[in-house]
Structure 1
Amino acid sequence: MKFVAFPRELQGTGASRRLRLSGKVPGIVYGAGQPAMIELDHNALFHALKKEAFHSSVLEMDLGGEVTKVVLRDVQKHAYKPQVLHIDFQRVDATTRIHKKVPLHFVNEAESQAVKFDKCLINHVVSELEIECLAEKLPEFLTADLGGLAKGQSLHVDDLKLDASIKVVTHGRKNPVVAVVVPIVEEEVVVAAAPAAAPAKGKGKGKK
């Protein structure tokens, strides 16, 4: 993905506030040299942040006509307004090793024996993993194939088919990524009605 940034001349709280009022977002690019202060169009950035690839891919930043490869490092958002307050990027090249959280995409869940025949549920224990790899090998997402799962089984980090250059650095390789859960069936308890009481002797008869 490619985006456009502009050099930011003024710094400080007051300057950043004025930028935001004018529809811009202050930011910084660091790594591989001196940090660069930048500004971006808020609306374009806001829509880009809705795309999964913007968070987990190597991006091309056009700054003053010069294209640099970067990865997103941090986003600060307003507590309750749909507004981006600040953004950080890191420069990368072919030799840069990075740690990055990458989303998991789950496939073939409905076709698994666990769901299709055993009528179980599959619990997604985690939705992303932090990995270490060369920037040029950074995947947009990791795929977890659930097609082989059956009742009583789990899928672990070790079961994922990853490129040899990718190392998972969080969650533990033996911990489950998904687990098959047998749904609890609630039994319906039927309460038998109490037998009607027999009428008391001598009652209900007319007087002679």
Structure 2
Amino acid sequence: MHEINLVAEPRNGEVKAKNLLIEGKIPGVIYGAEMETISISLDKVEVLRIMKRVAETSSIVLTLDGKEYHAFLKGVQRDKVNDSVIHLDFFVPSSGHKMELRIPIRLVGTPMGLEKGGIVDHIVNELPVSVLPKDIVEEIVVDVSSLDVGHVLRVKDLDIPEGIKPLLDDEDAIMLIALPRVAKEVEEEEAEELEEDVEPEVINKGKKEEGEEE
């Protein structure tokens, strides 16, 4: 598993987060079941550099005062106005402790159903799992080239590495190749037109019968 390295500095609790942000630093915390929570600050440029590629499954090595903490990013707070990062939470799992997180699902190949006008409907993009830190993978790759129109990719169809327990049911859908929306709309329109054509015939028939009785 690829590791991301970050250098952290101890943060003085008396310094306001707003002032740190002005100085080009981002406040954060390192916490875990077997350690006291540590307040830290990180270089804003370095944080922005990794944010584009960091995920919940990314292993992050935080170096603080010469000591390394092997952590995972568990929380990102953003500014409500400009969406900039203003706080980070890093979790250090204890030995033998299973984590609950979401592993991205990467689909490869072009479903054969697309050539027939089918549409890919993504239902689950990240698989929630329970896993030991040593067994975490950055993504689960699945080849979907054999999926035809009407086919459904389910949790049980995924090639999940040993040691990873999905938190979804085996029958839960990950994605499906749906019927073309255009075709469905045409079918609905034709059904509506058929109903419109039938109604006048019934009304006319009723009127004719009334006239005959007169």
TM-score bucket (shorter structure): 0.7 to 0.9
Between the two proteins, what is the percent identity of the paired residues? 25
Match of 1:44 in 2: 46
Shift of 1:45: 0.7
Provide the rounded CA distance (Å) in 1 between the counterparts of 2:164 and 2:97: 13
76-85 vs 152-161, which deviates more? 76-85
Q: Cα gap change, 1:54/1:64 in structure 2, threshold over 3 Å: closer, same or farther?
A: farther
Structure 2 residue 153 is the aligned partner of structure 1 residue 181: no
Provide the rounded CA distance (Å) in 2 between the counterparts of 1:94 and 1:156: 32
Structure 2 residue 6 is the aligned partner of structure 1 residue 3: yes
- Structure 2 gap segments, 5+ residues each: 191-214
Which letter does structure 2 place at the counterpart of 1:44? E
SS of corresponding position for 2:56: helix
Match of 2:152 in 1: 154
What CA deviation, in whole Å up to 9, does each residue of 1:159-185 have, x standing for no partner? 100012101114x33111001111133
Match of 2:82 in 1: 81
Contact 1:93 1:135 in 2 (8 A): no
Shift of 1:82: 4.3
Q: CA RMSD in A?
A: 2.0
Equivalent in 33, 36, 39 of residue 34 of structure 1: 36
Provide the rounded CA distance (Å) in 2 between the counterparts of 1:132 and 1:55: 13
Provide the rounded CA distance (Å) in 2 between the counterparts of 1:95 and 1:9: 32
- Structure 1 gap segments, 5+ residues each: 190-208
Shift of 1:25: 1.0
Which one has the bigger helix percentage? 2
Shift of 1:42: 1.4
Structure 2 residue 118 is the aligned partner of structure 1 residue 120: yes
Contact 1:56 1:71 in 2 (8 A): yes
TM-score (norm 1): 0.80
Pairs aligned (count): 182
Contact 2:100 2:130 in 1 (8 A): yes
